[in-house]
Structure 1
Amino acid sequence: MAAITGAVTGAGVTAYELVTDRMLYERVLELPPVLQAILPAVGLAVALVVLRTIARGASPATADDYIRVFHRRDEQMDPMPVPGRMLAGIATLGSGGALGFEGPSLYLGAAIGSAFQGRFGRFFRRADAKTLMVAGAAAGVAAIFKTPATGAVFALEVPYQDDTAHGHLLPALTGAAVGYLVQVAVVGTAPLFPVSGTPPFDLRELGGALLLGLLCGLGARGFSWMVRQAKFLGQDHLSAVRVGLAGATLAALGGISWWLFGNMLALGTGYQVIERLGDPDMTVGLLAVLLVLRTLATGATLTGGGVGGLFIPLAVSGALVGRLIGVGLGLDTTTTLFAVVGVAAFLGAGYRTPLAGVMFVAEATGQPGFVVPGLLAAVASQLVMGDASVSLYQHTRRMGHLERRFSMAIASVIDAEVWTVPADSTLDEFLDSMLLSRQTVVPVVEDGNRYVGIARVDLLGAIPRDEWDRHAVGEVADVELPTARPDWTIREAVEAMERADTDVLAVVDDDRRYIGVVSIDEIVRLDEILARRDRPE
């Protein structure tokens, strides 16, 4: 099934690339500069409409959606937004948006694999519920970049910051290999990145690679922060205003790029940038300006709700930083060594996928001599990244038995039958009802169902016993305790309990309407039930 998933994904990604790149973007590059600068704004507007209509209000997330679903054990990719997101990606990338093709490609493969998994799920163990989704994701990356090993490694690495999903290794390798073969059968096997010269192998270059890795790590941290801010702005501001401002920014960046370079290097996927890196006219100053322009263009495309990936923007930024350092220090004037090493370091740091970054360099350039400097730079870049990443859904590492339970939705442990007490009830009434219900912790509500706080039996001691009939329970309720949201995971609820030193949380909606409570007892009970269910017969 992994091979079939890879074949279908490879065919889909190949068709997607031919339509988006060959039929649309290559024609955009033939238009007058003014139109080239304006078209990304049009693409963002079309993407917005498509996401709202065909995708039924789905977000622009592609690779992030794969990572999110990967960590939800009982969830598969939702097939409904797939056509809309793919069309929005065509609009974004085909018009010159500054993102990469790998996001939609990975997403398409993961969705195909997830659909096959749902159709033939009875043939898989519960532990293999994500197998075909991972195989499809690997095939998508392998096909779009013509890098089979990178596709497999990236699909396994990207769900985690410091770990891999190695349990899916063989399906990922199979899917990636088949997806790659389908792609190259149509478009050929030419390396993605042009390289020049034979990389030297001496201490000076290796030391330079370490320095470059540290600088790329710092740059990737800044890039990750920018990406997160852009995604936040893309979600929380009025769509029409957001798209208009993002489109105007892209047009301005394109104009500056044309004025400086005679080309729209700030826009598009960035392949043209890599082709120009060996140009002797690309001085240190121009390289620095182009790096800023590309970063701003990627941020503007994300802010405008564009659909695309961050793999290539990270790689292009790394190539620019590498070339900038190599030329600036006089270490890399006859080869593209530092540009290639920068790709491994910046890409590996930004997505927290160092192995995929190095593997991508080896496969995309066709030059194994770049691997050792790339490894050193990738390690150095990871040392300064901390917990930063361009993804919103990565976990630090694989989780154990209990930790997997914590990733489940809080809805599985909400107790909606817990008795509540009106805030204006007297303390005497509260105590009588509490004894009847046998609860020691009771949510307090007002105006029917609006949450106020938590009342506990130990709080009654703050009021003299002979005054209980003159005081309302709302006066002694603990209003400082945090509340949970219905879309939380169990982990988020437990962490909130630990911070507040409590074993119960009220669950409320955005209007603070009471839904139910979550308690440590219910979480432990759920774990016992699931442990019995998962135990082999």
Structure 2
Amino acid sequence: MTQFGDRFRQLLRIGRRPQQVLVLSAVTGALTGGAVALFDWLVSNVMFNRVLRQSDWFKALAPLIGLIVAALALHFLAARATPATADEYIRNFHDRDRRLDERPVLGRVVASIATLGLGGAMGYEGPSIYIGAAIGSAIQRRMSRFFSRDDAKLLLVAGAAAGVAAIFKAPATGVVFAIEVPFQDDVARRMLLPALTAAAVSYIVFVAFNGTTPLLPVRGAPPFDVRDIGGAAVLGLMCGVGARGFAVLLTQAKRIAASAHPVLRVTVAGAVLVGLYVASKALADEGLTIGPGYRTVAWALDPKHGLGLIVAMFFLRALATTATVGGGGAGGLFIPLVIQGVLVGRAVGGLFGAPDSSLFPVIGIAAFLGAGYRVPLAAIVFVAETTGRPGFVVPGLIAAAVAQLAMGRSSVSPYQVAARGGHLERRFTLPISAALQADVMTVPPDTTVREFFALHLIANRQKSVPVVDETHQYLGMARLDELDKVDEDQWETEAVSVIARTDLPTGKPDWTLRHAVEAMQAADVDVLPVVDAGGRFVGVVETDGILKLDEILGEADPF
């Protein structure tokens, strides 16, 4: 009876788990909505709006000051972590064995506040995603008893969805973006309901403080015309090419931010941003190169601005974002992609004789954003939610599809993968320790060939045996097919070291199984000895051992 009662209670706990997970998702959404509202208030109301009221010389220098503060915050508060925010979410999503590191969170958030509050040309959504992901990951770490192994990243995704839903006042966009952005051609599985719950709650909390006014100042409901299909295709091609070039710039900027000396990168980036502000002021009579770019949308939709000026602003904004990233600024790239899409769309509208139409700028958003982040679904949903104009969706779909083709395999995030991996791909990403056999028989170098043959080849049926001395130094591999190097009448006197192969590959403890398999394939061997940096024998990896991992990886794919 007691055994039956224990099983019954266990079944009840399992049955309640989905409800408990949804409750924790709602808590994640509520906390994220409040945190993002506070972040938005600090960055926008307390800091950036005040920057806009200052003199031109201060506005030109403000981004440089922001980069300096960001560098200090990352150095002292984040233990020299990178400024990555949304990228950190994507990277951690694919690292199934580790939760999001909480130690750099404060430093990265402070760096984001400094970068964005003082006019860095990046978006608020990157830190919002990171804040939500950090909250979700922290809750799941403390409530891990409610989650199975397959749910390892569930609240991480829910928190990211909540962050996007709040900052854009777009809950559906938050959900779709969070499950789509980790992949280039796929979406995450088994995350939808918790992400929906967190996004909805986060949206409600955020709009309670900030209202429900749409994010983008777009007006009008353009009628659908067959000619719009051709225009959307042309615009999609241009946005795809533009996003591909923008991704190249951002990739180089991230590399500089990671490798250059902080003083040098901040100084150069700050000087570039000052020059871009001066150029924007001279061309447009407005400093549109600072801030996330919402003012640029309103400016671009004014039909009085000529095509040349729109194109010039496209390059100024792209360079401003690139300089901010290269200078080590912390922020998002979602909104910069949106702004670039608006400018390309406005330019195409001018070419088609429709400079006052909001159609092309809006579908430019879908195409440029969808291509740059490889999130066509999220881009379309974003257009519908933030503009409140579902009539833009059909031409936006066409433009986004064409832009995806033009984008190729490029992306603004280096951590995206093409698609969810199957068992083979997942096996190859595991550390070599997953298949390492440390307790294996070795043979001393002074063992005779006869003893080696009798003890290892006959008694234990080992075809390849590591030769290891008394200090655990690896000396080579003694193999069955090397016996013919020694005449059988000399087996009693010759040491096994005579036939030991020293030219075969060895593995390292920090390798993945992919490295091990590639090394074994190149040498056509079934056993790979693993040695440390000092040449000490650690163990072996065998092809049979790698194949047996299927028993472990036969569980449902959590992603």
TM tier, shorter chain? 0.7 to 0.9
CA, structure 1 residues 440+264, in 2 after alignment: closer, same or farther (shift >3 Å)? farther
State the shift of 1:78 in Å: 1.4
Q: In the alignment, does 2:176 pair up with 1:153?
A: yes
State the shift of 1:204 in Å: 1.5
Q: Which residue of 1 aligns with 2:265?
A: 242
CA, structure 1 residues 440+508, in 2 after alignment: closer, same or farther (shift >3 Å)? closer
Q: Deviations over 1:311-330 (max 9, x none)?
A: 11111111111111111232
Q: In the alignment, does 2:150 pair up with 1:124?
A: no
CA, structure 1 residues 155+462, in 2 after alignment: closer, same or farther (shift >3 Å)? farther
CA, structure 1 residues 277+456, in 2 after alignment: closer, same or farther (shift >3 Å)? farther
- Kept in 2, the 8 Å contact 1:196–1:335? The answer is no
Unaligned ranges ≥5, structure 1: none
Q: Which has the larger radius of gyration?
A: 2
Q: In the alignment, does 2:36 pair up with 1:13?
A: yes
Matches within 5 A, 1:261-410: 261-330=284-353, 332-410=354-432
- Kept in 1, the 8 Å contact 2:529–2:541? The answer is yes
State the shift of 1:258 in Å: 1.7
Q: In the alignment, does 2:25 pair up with 1:2?
A: yes
- Kept in 2, the 8 Å contact 1:420–1:444? The answer is yes
Q: Distance in 2 between matches of 1:312 and 1:21?
A: 15
Q: Distance in 2 between matches of 1:372 and 1:390?
A: 25
- Kept in 2, the 8 Å contact 1:197–1:336? The answer is yes
- Kept in 1, the 8 Å contact 2:63–2:120? The answer is yes
Name the aligned partner's letter for residue 282 of structure 1: H
State the shift of 1:339 in Å: 0.7
State the shift of 1:401 in Å: 3.9
CA, structure 1 residues 430+97, in 2 after alignment: closer, same or farther (shift >3 Å)? farther
Provide the secondary structure at the position in 2 that maps to 1:167.
Answer: coil
The answer to which of 309-318 and 430-439 deviates more is 430-439
Name the aligned partner's letter for residue 357 of structure 2: T
Q: Distance in 2 between matches of 1:222 and 1:431?
A: 66
Q: Which residue of 1 aligns with 2:503?
A: 478
Percent of aligned pairs with the same residue?
Answer: 51
- TM-score after normalising by structure 1: 0.86
Q: In the alignment, does 2:58 pair up with 1:35?
A: yes
The answer to which of 509-518 and 21-30 deviates more is 509-518
Q: Which residue of 1 aligns with 2:78?
A: 55
The answer to which of 43-52 and 372-381 deviates more is 43-52
State the shift of 1:72 in Å: 2.4
State the shift of 1:215 in Å: 1.5
Unaligned ranges ≥5, structure 2: 1-23, 457-461
Q: In the alignment, does 2:181 pair up with 1:137?
A: no
State the shift of 1:534 in Å: 8.7
The answer to which of 517-526 and 46-55 deviates more is 517-526
- Kept in 2, the 8 Å contact 1:198–1:335? The answer is no
Q: Distance in 2 between matches of 1:59 and 1:339?
A: 33
Provide the secondary structure at the position in 1 that maps to 2:413.
Answer: coil
Q: Distance in 2 between matches of 1:260 and 1:434?
A: 85
Tell me how large the CA RMSD over aligned residues is.
3.5
Aligned residues: 524
- Kept in 1, the 8 Å contact 2:483–2:499? The answer is no
- Kept in 2, the 8 Å contact 1:72–1:407? The answer is no
Q: Distance in 1 between matches of 2:534 and 2:329?
A: 31
Q: In the alignment, does 2:533 pair up with 1:490?
A: no
- Kept in 2, the 8 Å contact 1:257–1:266? The answer is yes
- Kept in 1, the 8 Å contact 2:61–2:270? The answer is yes
Matches within 5 A, 1:376-525: 376-414=398-436, 440=464, 457=479, 477-478=502-503, 486=510, 489-491=512-514, 493-494=516-517, 503=526, 518-525=541-548
Q: Which residue of 1 aligns with 2:11?
A: none
Q: Distance in 1 between matches of 2:498 and 2:127?
A: 55
Q: Deviations over 1:461-512 (max 9, x none)?
A: 998989xx99x99997438x596671x5434554565567655667688999
Q: Distance in 2 between matches of 1:79 and 1:305?
A: 20
Q: Deviations over 1:429-460 (max 9, x none)?
A: 99988997857375999x998x99x7674996
Q: Distance in 2 between matches of 1:268 and 1:88?
A: 15
Q: Which residue of 1 aligns with 2:116?
A: 93
1:165 to 167, 177, 188: 188
Name the aligned partner's letter for residue 344 of structure 2: V
Q: Which residue of 2 aligns with 1:115?
A: 138
Provide the secondary structure at the position in 1 that maps to 2:126.
Answer: helix
Q: Distance in 1 between matches of 2:141 and 2:279?
A: 49
CA, structure 1 residues 149+346, in 2 after alignment: closer, same or farther (shift >3 Å)? same
